[in-house]
Amino acid sequence: MSLRTRIALIASTAVAIAVVAIAAIVYFSTQDRLVDEIDRSLTDRATAAQAIGDITSEFREGRGRGQGQTPFRVPRGFDVLYVQLVTADGTTIIPPDQEFGLPVPPQIDFTTIEFVHTEATVEGVHLRIASVSLGEELGTLQIARSLEEVDATLSRLAAALLSIGLIGVAGAAGLGLFVARSSLRPIGELTVAAERVAETKELAQRIDVGRKDELGRLADAFNEMLGALEESKQQQNRLVRDAGHELRTPLTALRTNIELLAKARELPAVERAAIYDDLNTELSELTDLVNEVVEVATDPAVTETETMVDLGELAAAVVARYRRRASQEFVLQIKDSATIKGRANRLERAVSNLIDNAAKWSPADSTITVAVSGGAVSVADRGQGIAAVDRDRVFDRFYRSDEARSTPGSGLGLSIVKQVAENHGGSVFVDVAYLDGAKVGFELPTG
């Protein structure tokens, strides 16, 4: 069963329940109103009958059917009334022209004068009976009226309510189907778009809904998801393309050196040693490149959880490690270090990449300054600086300026710094350092 059909069925069921409830209320309230009117009419007529002066004498003389005498008379209106007197000894007296007597309710109390209203069917006639005690001496007076008119009215009302209910349920089903079809049209478009994307792998498609309700928000979210997937696919393609381009150089060099090693017996020992050194260097660069490509392609949210990280302590630990193995001198400046919620290993890798970049461009025995101020971490070198034309691209993947093409490296170090900063809601920056050189860093939100 489709969603549209289920919505239409739910709507028609809800309307049917409401119609049945309303119809029941209308029917029974109308029935009570009509019966109350008849009860008041019977009570008024019985009261008027009690008020006739000669009624007691007529009953006392025993006039009624079976004795050939003129029966007592009860004032009658537009309706046909049935009357009966039940004496204290249980004898019933009815007018001679009345076809049948009335059933006596067992709850009559001769000591009270309250009316008792009951219903009964006598010889196929549905009656409403009002009974009242005239005292222990006279007995009980009963007066009744047929309910055929009320039953006919209620039958017509029930037929009308049934017709209206069926029309209402059918209309609700049709309206529910129409509303479901129009409301679910965006979902149908989303389904078609999703199926088309799954079939063609084309992520550039978008859905134009033009509405501000929940379905419009769903369509907007779907469009945003397609945009994110498209961007991710483009970045993946660029990464694969750039990584393939970068891998060709070390692989070509490895192939050349391996071919030379195949002729190692014909080469002098010095040349063989140089080839071995080149192989080790190229293998090391290739390993670093593969590791960095894997790191760029890995989602940090999957591999590491967030903890509270003090940027000053983290930078101090990284600087201490580099002091033991680098030829430059490191100066650490910490001012108002911030503690942020982040991924410690990724932030440590970002600081390490900044220092690696600075160490690559700084002369031996020069000074590299690592500064921490709030949520900002910067590393300043004493190299030749970064040209203005390259500052906007130094954080791009595999980008290498003309000056950097002759130096070892993958071109991914600073792009990893940018990725780490953006994953933590921050940004990167590059500027001219004091006493020339370059100052590169990132800044993270502290609030």
Residue 439 corresponds to which tokens in the numbers above?
Answer: 């100052």
43 touches 166 (CB < 8 A):
no
If asked whether residues 278 and 316 sit together in one domain, one would say no
If asked whether residues 254 and 331 sit together in one domain, one would say no
If asked whether residues 332 and 271 sit together in one domain, one would say no
If asked whether residues 288 and 315 sit together in one domain, one would say no
Q: Is 163 within a domain?
A: no
If asked whether residues 249 and 355 sit together in one domain, one would say no
How much is the pLDDT for 333?
Answer: 92
In angstroms, how far apart are the furthest CA atoms of the chain?
159
pTM: 0.46
Q: Going by DSSP bridges, is the β-strand pair 329-337/367-374 parallel, antiparallel, or unpaired?
A: parallel
Q: Which class for 45: exposed (0-12), middle (13-18), buried (19 or more C-beta within 10 A)? A: buried
If asked whether residues 101 and 143 sit together in one domain, one would say yes
Q: Is 97 within a domain?
A: yes
If asked whether residues 340 and 283 sit together in one domain, one would say no
Distance of CA 66 to the CA centre of its chain: 83
If asked whether residues 273 and 315 sit together in one domain, one would say no
Q: Which helix (H) or strand (E) holds 430?
A: strand 427-432
Q: Is 316 within a domain?
A: yes
Domain's final residue, options 297, 329, 349: 297
Q: Is 242 within a domain?
A: yes
If asked whether residues 372 and 311 sit together in one domain, one would say yes
User: pLDDT 10s per residue in the chain (447 long)?
Assistant: 677 777 778 878 888 888 889 889 998 999 899 888 888 888 887 777 665 433 444 444 444 443 333 344 444 443 567 888 877 777 788 877 778 888 877 766 655 557 788 888 888 888 888 888 777 677 778 888 888 888 888 999 999 988 988 888 888 888 877 877 777 777 777 777 778 777 877 777 777 766 777 777 877 888 888 888 887 777 777 666 666 655 666 677 777 777 766 766 666 777 767 777 777 766 766 776 676 666 666 655 556 688 899 999 999 999 998 888 888 899 999 988 889 999 888 898 889 889 988 888 888 888 899 999 999 999 998 887 777 767 777 787 666 555 554 455 556 778 888 888 988 899 999 887 666 788 899 999 987
Ramachandran class of 69: left when φ > 0, alpha when ψ lies in -120 to 50, beta otherwise: beta
Q: How many domains, the chain?
A: 3
Q: Is 143 within a domain?
A: yes
How much is the pLDDT for 60?
Answer: 45
* Length of the chain measured in residues: 447
29 CB contacts (<8 Å, ≥6 apart)?
Answer: none
How much is the pLDDT for 77?
Answer: 42
Q: Is 15 within a domain?
A: yes
If asked whether residues 227 and 307 sit together in one domain, one would say no
How much is the pLDDT for 441?
Answer: 92
Residue 350 corresponds to which tokens in the numbers above?
Answer: 């970002």
Residue 393 corresponds to which tokens in the numbers above?
Answer: 């691209």
What are residue 140's DSSP bridge partners? 86, 133
If asked whether residues 335 and 269 sit together in one domain, one would say no
271 touches 390 (CB < 8 A):
no
How much is the pLDDT for 57?
Answer: 46
If asked whether residues 11 and 148 sit together in one domain, one would say yes
Q: Which domain holds residue 287?
A: 214-297
Domain CATH code at residue 290 = 1.10.287
Q: Is 315 within a domain?
A: yes
**Rounded Cα distance, 394 and 391, in Å:** 6
